[in-house]
Structure formats: C-alpha cells, structure tokens
Amino acid sequence: MMDKFMVWLDEKFSTPMAKLAEQRHLRAVRDGIVATLPIIIVGSFFLILAYPPVPKDSAVALWAAENIVKILLPYRLTMYIMSLYASWGIGYSLSKSYNLDGVSGGNLAVVAFLMTIIPQVADEIGWALPMANLGGSGMFVAIVTSIFAVEIMRLLSKTKFKITMPEQVPSSVARSFEALTPTAVVVILMTIISVVLEFDWHGFIAKVMAPLISTSDTIFGVLFPVILITLFWSAGIHGVSVVGSVARPVWTVLLDANTAAAAEGAKVLPHIAPEPFYQWFIWLGGSGATIGLVLLLAFVSKSKYSKTLGRTALAPGLFNINEPLIFGAPIVLNPILIIPFVLAPLVNAVVSYVVMSLELVARPYILAPWTLPGPIGAYLATGGDWKAIVLNLVCIVLSVIIYYPFFKMYDNKQLELEQIEKAV
C-alpha cells in the first residue's frame, strides 16, 4: 500500500501540481510579491523600534513613545504601501514572460493600480492619495489590475493598432512610443471603471476575498497548506515555493492587518496565521519540522551514515535549511520518515495555534529573515515576546519526540546495512 502511495505522490500528485504553480500569471504574482519581501522585512523592523521590548517606564520606551510617528515613517513608506511595489513587480514579471518590455509593463501595472484609488484634497497640503489601500489590503486589487494592464498591452502588441517606429530610432525611444497605445487604453478604461462608473474596486474585492481570508486564519486554514507543503517535499519538490505561489497573497493580507494593528498600539493582534507563524512555530529547522530528526541523527545515532549525515545537516538545520537532510537521509519517497515529516508540523501547528488563540503568546506581525535560528526568529516575529521563545523551544522538543521512533527504525536499518557490508 505504502509503495502505491509513493508512486502516486511522485507521479500523480507532486509533479503535475507543481507544474500548475508554474502557470504564467501565478508565476508573475509570486515573483512580484517575493520581490517586495526585502521592503517588508526592513520596513516591519521599524515596528520593533517603535515598540521596543523593554519595560514601559524605561528611558528607551519613553523616547520611542514620544517619537512614534517619526519612527514609523520608514514603515509607512515601505511595508505600509507594499501592494504598490508588488504591482510594479507583477507587471514587470508578467510582461517579461510575454517577451514584452518589462519596464513599460511594470509602469503600466502601477498606473492601473493607482487608478483604483481616488485622490482627495486636504486643507493646506493640497492633493493627497489615501494610503490605506496601497498596503496589504489592496494586494488582490493590485494583482487583478496589474494582470489586466499587461494583458491589454499584450493584446495590443498583437494587433496592428500600435505605433511602430522605424528601425533607425534608438530602441529605448521606440519602446516608450510603443507603450503609448496600451497606456492610453488602460488609462481610459480605468477612468471609465473607477471614475465614471464609480466602481469600488477595494470594497468589491475585499467582499469577494473575505471568506478566503478569514478561513486562512482558522486552524483548518493552517493545517491544509501544512499538509500540502509536506506532501510536496515528501516527493522532493519545494513545497513552500509551490504552495506559496497561491497562498502568499493571502498570508500577506493577514500580515499587513497585524502590522497595521501593532502600529496603532493594539494589545492583541487580529490574526494568528500570517506567514511568520508557519516559519517560527511550525517549520522548526525547515519544512517538516526536521530539527528533531537532525538533533537525533547528530547526537544519538549509532550507525556511521546517520552520524555523518547528522553532523553535515546540523549546522544548516539550525538556520532552517534542510535539503541536505531531505535528500541525504533521504526523506524523499521514504515511507518511514515521511510519516513524522507530515505529522510533526501538524502537531506543532495545533499546539501553537491553540496557545496563540488563548493569547498566552503574542501573535506574529514582523517578517524576520527565515534563516535566523528558531528562537531568535520567534522572538523578533512577535515583536519581542519572550514567551514566543518558550513556545518555539516546546515545538523543538515535540519535534524530537515525534521523530524519535521513526529515527530509531531508520538508524537500526542503516546499522544493519553497514554490518552486512562489513561482513561482505
């Protein structure tokens, strides 16, 4: 039975499904959002500065409280308006994938996205663009309008309805003329939709996406991607990369809502499960919560192969890199090790989710680089809650316990193989 399952996992499930995630538009959305990660990471760190994890009456905390508006400015201009950046990236990637000019595509996507937001006149400062929908809550609008803009560009590039320059004209000049027609069409269409028809892009898409967003923050909304990601990795395919293509926009909306609430000084954040929740309270040591396995291999294994593997995989494992383990053990298509590889993250997810819904540990709202060792990442992600370190360590212990019986079977088998080899 297990053999049949392995064949299914490899041939029917993982490879065809992963290929789906390589669909052009999904790929463009993925690359566009991934390109904003540095902006999100750096921007969100200013929140730690604004609410430093020190006693409230200390000099540092008092200074921060006094200057909070200024301290948060870098955050407001980076993460707080991340959909604006994502929109450019999506437009760029998608037009590149069609062999169209990437810069024109990126610009056109931004134009289309900005035209969903109506500027206002404010006293003394003149025209102002309301920023709220430029952030994570506008992500799905940015995705839709960016794709819309580039598709128009592509349609027009195929028709005769475009301006083509003679060959003598320098290519950069020619390019900007070629972008004239699609820009005119996009601007006119967006004006009709947003201004003439007064279509509320953000209200409408928020309503459509609301069920998906709220489901993704439930325990089932957490367990489902965890199962998918571990199954992909069980077949040796980068699960987070595949599932993230589809799920990351949703995770980003959750993260943005939490960060925005934290910037307003909220005590309890609205969501439990933005991406850092998976990173620091489920994927201990990498996908599959393999930190337990790597510790067991490095320190208690008896066979020579297990020991060497454990020592090789230990250092990267502490920084959440576990490919050496996944392909070295291997866990890939290994009926013994796949069981804890799926099970350990599920248990960690349930425990951490319950602990956070009971408000025993702060909820994550800061995107820390994923290669930080677990406890440090957990501490930063929750804006400096020491109890997050405890929870992270508890998850590591759970991982060790869950992997132990399977590790034993694995190690004994290696030992047996080594003895046979010696005898021969």
Partner 1 sequence: MKVMFVCAGGMSTAMTAKKLQEVADKNDVEMTVKAFGTSDYLKELKKDNYDVLLVAPQIRHRFDVIKESANKFDGLVVEKIPPNMYAPMEPIVKKLFNFIMEKVNNK
Terminal-to-terminal C-alpha distance of the chain: 32
SS (H, E, C) 243-311: HHHHHHHHHHHHHHHHHHHHHCCCCCCCCCCCHHHHHHHCCCCCCCCCHHHHHHHHHHCCCHHHHHHHH
- Which residue in the set 187, 308, 346, 413 belongs to the binding site for partner 1 (CB under 8 A)? 308
Distance, in Å, from the CA atom of 340 to the CA atom of 321, rounded to the nearest integer, reads: 18
Compute the least distance from the CB of residue 45 to partner 1, in Å.
Answer: 20
Compute the least distance from the CB of residue 391 to partner 1, in Å.
Answer: 26
Compute the least distance from the CB of residue 95 to partner 1, in Å.
Answer: 16
- Which residue in the set 140, 201, 233, 280 belongs to the binding site for partner 1 (CB under 8 A)? 233
- By CB under 8 A, the residues from 337 to 396 that bind partner 1 are 371
Binding of residue 302 to partner 1 (CB under 8 A): no
- Which residue in the set 241, 387, 393, 415 belongs to the binding site for partner 1 (CB under 8 A)? 241
- Which residue in the set 7, 8, 22, 195 belongs to the binding site for partner 1 (CB under 8 A)? 22
- Which residue in the set 323, 339, 351, 393 belongs to the binding site for partner 1 (CB under 8 A)? 323
Binding of residue 19 to partner 1 (CB under 8 A): yes
Single out the residue of 393, 400, 382 nearest to residue 47, CA to CA. 382
Compute the least distance from the CB of residue 214 to partner 1, in Å.
Answer: 30
Binding of residue 332 to partner 1 (CB under 8 A): yes
- By CB under 8 A, the residues from 92 to 151 that bind partner 1 are none
Compute the least distance from the CB of residue 406 to partner 1, in Å.
Answer: 19
For 169, the enclosing helix (H) or strand (E) is none
Compute the least distance from the CB of residue 81 to partner 1, in Å.
Answer: 23
Amino acid at position 101, single letter? D
Q: How many CB atoms lie within 10 A of CB 109?
A: 32
Distance, in Å, from the CA atom of 228 to the CA atom of 246, rounded to the nearest integer, reads: 12
Phi, psi of 75 (to 5 degrees): -65, -45
Binding of residue 309 to partner 1 (CB under 8 A): yes
Binding of residue 21 to partner 1 (CB under 8 A): yes
Single out the residue of 249, 241, 251, 261 nearest to residue 221, CA to CA. 251
Binding of residue 8 to partner 1 (CB under 8 A): no
- The residues pairing with 122 across neighbouring beta strands, listed in sequence order, are 126
Distance, in Å, from the CA atom of 262 to the CA atom of 268, rounded to the nearest integer, reads: 8
Residues contributing to the site for partner 1 (CB under 8 A): 15, 18-19, 21-22, 27, 31, 34, 233, 236-238, 241-242, 308-309, 312, 316, 321-328, 330, 332-333, 371
